[in-house]
Structure formats: C-alpha cells, structure tokens
Amino acid sequence: MMADQNFKFIDLFAGAGGLSEGLSESGFHGLFASEIVGEYAQTYKKNHSGTEVMTADIRSLDAEEIRRKLGVEREELDLIAGGPPCQGFSINAPVRSILDERNHLFKEYLRFVDAFAPRAVLIENVPGLVSFEDGATLHAILDALAELGYGADVRILGAAYYGVPQMRWRTVILGLRGKNLPQTAFPEPVHHAPIRPNFTATFDGQSLVKFPTAETHSKFVTVKEALDDLPPLRNGEQGQPIKEYACDPACDYQKRSRVGSVGVINHEAPRLSSVNIERLRYIAPGGNWTDIPDELLPKGMQRARKSDHTKRYGRVAPDGLASTILTKCDPHWGSYFHYSQDRSFTVREAARIQSFPDHFVFTGTQAQQFAQVGNAVPPLLAKAVGLAIKSMLEEGV
C-alpha cells in the first residue's frame, strides 16, 4: 500500500519492522529507523527500502544531528514510534532493575522526542508494564511525556480483536503534543475473539483493556484461515526457496497476505527429533502434552500436574487462535505443532500468524528469522493504531 507522503514517522528500537510495516499500511511514510541487532536491521532494510536504517546502539546516536540530516524541522515530524524497554525507568526501581542498562533505554526514546518534538508519540510494550513496580514505572513514563508537553494515555490491546489470529496482548501508550488525548485515540476492536486477560488490566482504578462492544459481530480470524493456502511440507522439508501456493485464496485474510507476493518464501519445515515426531502421533488438533503417554514425556513433565503447561506440545486447533508466537516456535514451550501436518510451524506460518504479508522477506538463519517474527509487533495491530493516530492528526484534535 502506498504511504501518504504527508504523514512521516521514525521508528526507534525498530526490530525487523513489524510496527513500521503496519504504520506504512495505515498511510505513514518511514524516514528513519534505528535497530541495534544487525540481522534485524538487515531484514528491515530489505522490506523498507525508502527508509534510512541505522544499525547502532541508540545511546551512541545524536538525535539533533539525525533530525538535521533528515531535513526535518522541530515540531514538523508527525510521529515517533517504537518499543523501548520501559521496565525499571521509574525512580523507584529496585537495585536489580537499576543495574540492568536496558531498563534505562526509555530515556533514549525521550531524548529523540525532545529533539524532534513530533506531533504524536507511540510506545508499545508488554502487558506486564502496567503492574511493574505496582504501576510506578508507567506513572513515571506518563509524567516524563507530560514534562515534554504530551498528553498521554495507555491501553492494552488484544491483537485478535484487530484480525490477528493469535492470543497476543500489547500495551500501547499514545501521546499528542500540547493536547489531551481524546477518548477515541485508541482503535476500536473490529472482531470478537475468545481471549481473556491473564495479567493486571487496571491502572489507577481504570480498566485498560479495549474490549469489543455488543455491536462487534465479526468473528476472529482462525489459524486455518491464516495458513491453509500455504503448501504442505514434511518434517524437515526445505524445498525450493520460492514455493507455489497450495490453492487459490479462500478468505480475505489469505487475499490480504498475498498482495504483492511472488510466491511463498521463508517456508521451510524445522526438523523435529524422532521423539517429538513420536509424541506428535498422539496429539489431536487442539490437544497438548497431556495426550502423550507418560513414558514419552520429558522427565520433568512426567511429574507435572495435568492442569499445568496446557500449551506445551500443543497441536493448534484449526478453528481457534494460535498461542502467542514467541522467538522460538519450540513445541516444548507452546502450541506450535501444525493442525494437520506432522511438523512444527515454519517461519512463514509464524509470520502469517503475526499478520505479516507474504512479500515481507526475513533474512538470516532460520533461528534468527523465528526471533525476528516473535519479537515483532503484529502489522495488523500496528495498522489499526496507525489509522487511529492518522485520524487524530487529520482532525487536528
């Protein structure tokens, strides 16, 4: 999708570019991105050729110099986006947090906000940010933004409510320069989905989760709808680098995924061990480790209660949602067995579940590719947030 050249943003802590991909789809044009991990930055560059990408520790970057090089006046940029590590930013942080240098990287994000003074800011993080230090960190973040002149607020968004076929939640902080954030700032859910918060969802007595309303009739996107047009593979099968689709697109999700695609890339099956293949024989779609005979289980799990670890060694239910895509689609940690093929997910399948379009290419080793996908913001969720920000900026609220 062509970005509206009138809306420009920079992405800090950019990763492989999931947040930028969604913002681009919503009509923003990326000017600059910063990412410390070389392989992540390489993937970002490959998919966002019009954006200047710096592979660097953000602490070494001069925000004012970058602003001048980009030819952007102060207060001219529309948006600074990013996912800086926030935990421990609070002055009340315990010693163990203060000693972790990553916990102060949020100050680097603020340094760029101070230098650019953008019209809006977007920060995404894990749901646990809300309860960290009993809310002190989140208070400190909102106070720091207020000191820079931003009216900011926070919500927790369920990705499945915005068309992403997995149980993933993200904390999103939005801020507007010189204005209070309106009630309509955060996108309304467009799908209903069987997801429930398993984390602290209130802050200062207010519920932060955006739930669908009674008028939201659209059903969530299922795993089968997300994956069923991809070519089947055997355990460990590599095949051609670019593969043909198994069939014509059967639903809107598949049609969207295939726009601009030349074929199926990053679709090679990891090789499962013989014992995992043996375990898999006993697991029905929607089942998990409790279906596996005790003698085939890892020793530690032979002693576990059947009610624990219900996602481990899970074969995902085709008509349900995937569990959260992590940096490894390791069956020992979640429901990463394919619903109808005796193998675990490929990078492309993980990317589909994250809502990446098929034209998005992941570089590096297979392990690095899985990490890039798992660490990303789902583009469809980012697009929904981007459209809400764009609407605010257009209305001049």
* Per-residue pLDDT band at 192 (split at 50, 70, 90): very high
Domain range annotation of the chain = 8-214+378-395
Q: What is the pLDDT of residue 279?
A: 92
pLDDT digits 0-9 by tens, 28-57: 999 999 999 999 999 999 999 999 999 999
Distance CA 164, CA 393 (A): 25
Query: What is the model's pLDDT at position 215?
Result: 81
For position 167, what pLDDT does the model report? Answer: 92
Cβ atoms of 63 and 38 closer than 8 Å = no
Confidence band for 396, pLDDT divided at 50, 70 and 90: confident
Q: Can you give the pLDDT at residue 98?
A: 47
Q: How confident is the model at residue 127 (pLDDT cuts 50, 70, 90)?
A: confident
Q: How does pLDDT run across 310-364, given as a tens digit for each residue? A: 778 899 999 999 999 999 988 888 899 999 999 999 999 999 999 999 999 999 9
**Average of per-residue pLDDT across 232-239:** 97
Q: Positive or negative, the Cα torsion across 8, 12, 17, 18?
A: negative
Of residues 109, 59, 157, the one with CA closest to residue 377? 157
Residue 357 · residue 378 · CB < 8 Å: no
86 is known as an active-site residue: yes
What is the SS3 assignment for 22? helix
Angle, helices 18-25/379-395, rounded to nearest 10 degrees: 50
Selecting among 86, 247, 251, 329, the annotated active-site residue is 86
Report pLDDT for 304: 72
Residue 105 has pLDDT above 90, yes or no: no
Q: What is the pLDDT of residue 246?
A: 97
Higher confidence at residue 88 or residue 246? Answer: 246
| Tens digits of residue pLDDT in 292-311 | 888 888 877 777 776 666 77
User: According to the model, what pLDDT value does residue 86 have?
Assistant: 73
Structural tokens at position 375: 């660490």
Confidence of residue 87 (pLDDT cuts 50, 70, 90): low
Residue 2 confidence (pLDDT): 44
Q: Which CATH architecture has domain 8-214+378-395?
A: 3-Layer(aba) Sandwich (3.40)
Sheet strands (E) in the chain: 8-12, 29-35, 52-55, 79-82, 120-125, 150-158, 169-177, 202-203, 206-207
pLDDT-derived band of residue 183, with 50, 70 and 90 as boundaries?
confident
Under 8 Å between Cβ of 318 and 222: yes
Residue 91 pLDDT exceeds 60? no
Q: What is the token pair recorded at 160?
A: 């499945």
Of 267, 362, 279, nearest in space to 21 by CA: 362
| Residues 311, 315, 316: CA angle, nearest 5 degrees | 85
Mean pLDDT of the chain, nearest integer: 91
HSE-CB for 165 with a 13 A CA cutoff: 26
Share of residues in the chain with pLDDT > 90 (%): 73
Q: State the Cα–Cα distance between residues 383 and 106, nearest whole angstrom.
A: 23
Give percent above pLDDT 70 in the chain: 93
Pairing mode of beta strands 29-35, 120-125: unpaired
Q: What is the structure's pLDDT at 89? A: 63
Torsion over CA: 99, 199, 81, 174 (sign)? negative
pLDDT in the model for residue 102: 57
Q: What pLDDT does 309 receive?
A: 64
Q: Is the pLDDT higher at 396 or at 270?
A: 270
